[in-house]
Amino acid sequence: MHTEVTKLLQIEYPILQGGMANIAEHNLVAAVSNAGGLGIIAAGGCGAEQVREEIRKTKALTDKPFGVNIMLLNPAAPDIAKVIVEENVSVVTTGAGTPEPYMKEWLEAGVKVIPVVASVALAKRMERCGAAAVIAEGCESGGHIGELTTMALVPQVVDAVEIPVIAAGGIADGRGFAAAMMLGAKAVQIGTRFLVAKECIVHENYKELVLKAKDIDSVVTSRTTGHPVRTLRNAMTREYIKMEKEGATFEELEHLTLGSLRKAVFEGDKKAGSFMAGQVAGLVSKEQTCQEIIQEIVKEAVDVVKDRTAQL
């Protein structure tokens, strides 16, 4: 497949793996890159030296390009920004804020910067400060989200910027991939489907919850803190929503979310864990290798476009 994004990133298929905090580590990242997509190390819950180690371990498993995602609320973000340059990482994606403080350093080192945006205004600002592309992420996504849906956000961002737009949020199969390209995206970013990849190290209980999830099983918490997060509904989300209603502080709530993500990923604690997943969890029904996932999505997209075009 040839799009502006496959050319920019030197990858075979225009599919990026979402930077899922505590989850996207070297095994998943290398598997996605080896399958022709762009694997992305999530530096979300990491310190700088841990990120350096992940980069080195990924390089040992693949010769293909891969990226690093920096969650900008992470207190270690400034140190991780330096590690990106020192370790010659070619692509950085950012989330939950603006990467402007790091742009000069990265652009001078030749790093391609692809910020996640949830609005047209931020997309334009990112283009002006030298972003190579933007990821327009709708609120169907798991984890930290903005307000707009993918269907509404992507075409508005496409019209507003010249740089390539990558669509994220609500995409888990070939139909979603094809639809995003129809909206003008040049690539897609997929998280939830890769949660159940054979190479993904999340606890089996996490995979089981995603595989069993139905369409309405995710819920958004933390709207009161200004950092809304989509997770699968469980005892933790019920407690969180109760605390929010009772007026808990930002720190109390943030502590609950961050600690509980680790409980979900490493311990599979179904009651206290924060099982971040997108609305498409209901579409994800089988565990496959990254190679199988990418091949299936690509074939389905090509077939669906041929089929629908014949109907027009």
The single residue among 146, 174, 273, 278 that binds ligand TUI, judged by CB under 6 A, is 146
Q: Strands of 15-17's sheet, edge to edge? A: 15-17, 187-190, 165-168, 134-137, 112-117, 91-95, 66-71, 39-42
The span from the CA of 171 to the CA of 188, in Å, is 8
Report the residue number, 144 or 186, with the smaller CB distance to ligand TUI.
Answer: 144
Report the residue number, 13 or 240, with the smaller CB distance to ligand TUI.
Answer: 240
Cβ at position 292, least distance to ligand TUI in Å: 25
- For residue 51, count other CB atoms closer than 10 A to its CB: 24
Q: At 202, phi and psi to the nearest 5? A: -60, 155
The span from the CA of 246 to the CA of 34, in Å, is 48
Cβ at position 66, least distance to ligand TUI in Å: 18
Per CB under 6 A, 143 contacts ligand TUI: yes
Report the residue number, 144 or 207, with the smaller CB distance to ligand TUI.
Answer: 144
Closest to 275 in 3D by CA, of 18, 21, 19, 45: 21
Q: Which residue number places its CB atom closest to ligand TUI?
A: 143
The span from the CA of 23 to the CA of 19, in Å, is 8
Per CB under 6 A, 138 contacts ligand TUI: no
Per CB under 6 A, 190 contacts ligand TUI: no
The single residue among 15, 16, 21, 185 that binds ligand TUI, judged by CB under 6 A, is 21
Q: How far is CA 61 from CA 30, 39, 50, 66, in A?
A: 6, 12, 17, 11
Cβ at position 126, least distance to ligand TUI in Å: 9
Under rule CB under 6 A, which residues in 240-259 are in contact with ligand TUI? 257-258
Q: Which residues bind ligand TUI (CB under 6 A)?
A: 21, 44, 71, 73, 95-98, 116-118, 122, 137, 143-146, 227, 229, 257-258, 261, 276
